[in-house]
Amino acid sequence: MDQETKDELRAGFEIQLRHAFYNKPEFPYLPSMGCYHVFFPVRNQEHDFGFLVLEWENPPNQMPYWQGTWVDTEEELNSYKYKKESPDALIDLVKVAKVFATNMAQVHHKHMMRKEEEKKDDWESWSQLQRASPKPFLN
């Protein structure tokens, strides 16, 4: 198969793969979850068309989009230089841990307050009212 035919087939495959990718329920949330690279192997029994690499691009003053690049072999895919090399730099783990610890402290505080409320015996106050000499008027 010559390169021109392969490129035409890749263009058709890319349209089909993008359509399937955009219709997935997790699609709108991938960049917010830190998923900036997605790749799809494209092959059949006779031919290996390579890998479609989709990278999240967010240029200033433009709409964000998924940039498509084709890679021929798995070795090229493993050595592919992604535009966003270090996703760890995007996440400050100390701040995330602080938010988590604060939230857990609030949850623990609410839980302990609820347990204290449950400990209060409402029947004790009821029995005091029943023993009172002038009975209170209860509606």
Residue 102 has what pLDDT?
A: 92
Are 60 and 12 in a shared domain? Answer: yes
**Residues 92-129: pLDDT tens digits?**
778 888 999 999 999 999 998 888 777 766 666 666 66
Report which of residues 102 and 132 the model is more confident about: 102
For residue 105, the enclosing domain spans: 93-131
**Residue 136 counted as domain residue:** no
Average pLDDT over residues 29-48: 86
**Residue 56 counted as domain residue:** yes
Residue 24 has what pLDDT?
A: 92
- Does the CA dihedral 132-133-135-136 come out positive or negative? negative
Are 19 and 70 in a shared domain? Answer: yes
Pull the structure tokens for residue 84.
């966003």
**CA–CA dist 72, 49 (Å, integer):** 7
pLDDT at 18 over 90: yes
Are 72 and 121 in a shared domain? Answer: no
**Residue 10 counted as domain residue:** yes
Are 14 and 67 in a shared domain? Answer: yes
Residue 87 has what pLDDT?
A: 52
**Residues 45-100: pLDDT tens digits?**
888 888 999 988 888 899 989 989 898 888 888 877 776 655 555 677 788 889 99
How many domains would you assign to the chain?
2
What strands, in cross-sheet order, belong to the sheet with 65-71?
37-43, 48-57, 65-71
Are 100 and 77 in a shared domain? Answer: no
pLDDT at 138 over 70: no
Pull the structure tokens for residue 93.
């783990």
CB 68, CB 54: distance < 8 Å: yes
Residue 75 has what pLDDT?
A: 83
Are 41 and 101 in a shared domain? Answer: no
Are 62 and 78 in a shared domain? Answer: yes
CB 106, CB 97: distance < 8 Å: no
Residue 124 has what pLDDT?
A: 64
Are 75 and 100 in a shared domain? Answer: no
Residue 129 has what pLDDT?
A: 67
